[in-house]
Amino acid sequence: MSRKNISDTKHWLRTARTISEALPFMRRYAGKTFVVKYGGHAMVDEELAALFASDIVLMKQVGVNPIVVHGGGPQIGRMLERLSVQTEFVDGLRVTDAKTVEVVEMVLSGTINKSIVSAINAAGGRAVGLSGKDGNLIQAQKLSRTTRDPDSNIEKVLDLGFVGEPSLIDPRVLTSLQESGLVPVIAPIGIGPKGETYNINADTAAGAIAAASGASRLLMLTDVVGVLDKDGELMPELNTGQVEALRQDGTIHGGMIPKLETCVKAVENGVEAAVILDGRLPHSMLLEIFTGGGIGTLVHR
């Protein structure tokens, strides 16, 4: 079945009304690894969070090996405010000094990570929380960014502090957990060559982990229905060449650009396909995987 541009989500809910109807699609992905980037509204809405946990459990039960990589920007912001730690953003990235990175690690690896683990376990699964520092899972380097002064046209390097990007992913700890029937839940904290702690964008971490673990799918849960064309209609699928063309003509812009860049990089590094999904829609992952037609925007080679 080809992917379709369906705006009526109730139709898709009806297509998945019985497990027997979904079985062919479940069997298709048995034994495959799916990396899920979890964040946005889906993570802060209690009802959606509970449904997400139950969906992860169902995926595991039918033979899919899910790996969850989560964000936590709003929660970090609230904690920094409570602790009266000043912070600023440059080009959408949080400048992370030594004090800030301690708070970031505490929130991501502590409160958020364990709440997701607890929710999956409460739904009948067996999840284990870890950060990229555990088992040297995410080895990182300082993120380098430059900007150009509009007046002098001189390029200068931005110092973002302890903001990093993956330099190497060691998936062995994930393999061990999966072989034990456990669901890894990963906080996007990396470790530098001298033991430094780095704050890593969750989208970037998820894409790198998907590529390193040989994932069949990278599922990016967002607060939009997918990639929209200039008429505001959902684009069901894109190849990597089309993504660049759409960026050049301005069809994709703003926060969608880095998300699609992550999808393209993952696909170019061996992931079968990446999908941008509406995390606000209940059971969006199941509708994407098990109904055959898909509901988001699928990116492939």
Given this structure, which CATH class describes domain 29-239+272-300? alpha beta
How does residue 149 score in pLDDT terms, banded at 50, 70 and 90?
low
Q: Which amino acid is at 214?
A: G
pLDDT at 25: 64
Q: What is the mean pLDDT of the chain?
A: 88
What is the pLDDT confidence band of residue 22, given thresholds at 50, 70 and 90?
low
Backbone dihedral angles phi then psi of residue 283, each to the nearest 5 degrees? 65, 30
Report pLDDT for 181.
94
Beta-carbon count within 10 A of 154 CB: 8
Q: At residue 17, does pLDDT exceed 70?
A: no
Q: What is the pLDDT averaged over residues 154-161?
A: 79
Q: What is the pLDDT of residue 101?
A: 93
Of residues 258 and 17, more confidently modeled: 258
Sign of CA dihedral 88, 83, 255, 257: positive
For residue 123, CA distances in Å to 55, 120, 227 come to: 9, 5, 31
Mean local confidence (pLDDT), 139-159: 78
- Whether the predicted pLDDT of 2 surpasses 90: no
Q: What integer pLDDT is reported at residue 10 of this predicted model?
A: 44
What confidence score (pLDDT) does residue 60 get?
94
> Can you list the alpha helix ranges (DSSP code H) found in the chain?
9-15, 19-28, 41-44, 46-61, 73-82, 98-105, 113-122, 172-179, 202-212, 240-248, 256-268, 284-290
pLDDT band at 157 (very low <50, low <70, confident <90, very high): confident
As a whole number, mean pLDDT of residues 14-18 equals 47
Six token digits for residue 162: 């302890």
Residue 222 neighbours by CB under 8 Å, 6+ apart: 40, 259, 276, 277, 278, 279
The structure's pTM equals 0.89
- If one compares 87 and 206, the residue with the highest pLDDT of the two is 206
More confident residue, 22 or 170: 170
Burial grade of 170 (CB within 10 A; 0-12, 13-18, 19 or more): middle
Task: Name the pLDDT band for 164 (thresholds 50, 70, 90).
Answer: very high
| φ, ψ dihedrals at 158, nearest 5° | -90, 130
**Of 47, 66, 70, the residue nearest 56 (C-alpha):** 66
Q: What is the pLDDT of residue 49?
A: 94
**72-128 tens-digit pLDDT:** 988 998 999 999 988 888 766 788 899 999 999 999 999 999 999 999 999 999 999
* Segments making up each domain of the chain, as ranges: 29-239+272-300
Give pLDDT tens digits for 243-277.
989 999 889 988 898 899 999 999 999 999 999 99
Handedness of CA 103, 105, 108, 114 (dihedral sign): negative
pLDDT number for residue 254: 83
Span 138-162, mean pLDDT?
A: 80
Query: What is the model's pLDDT at position 142?
Result: 94
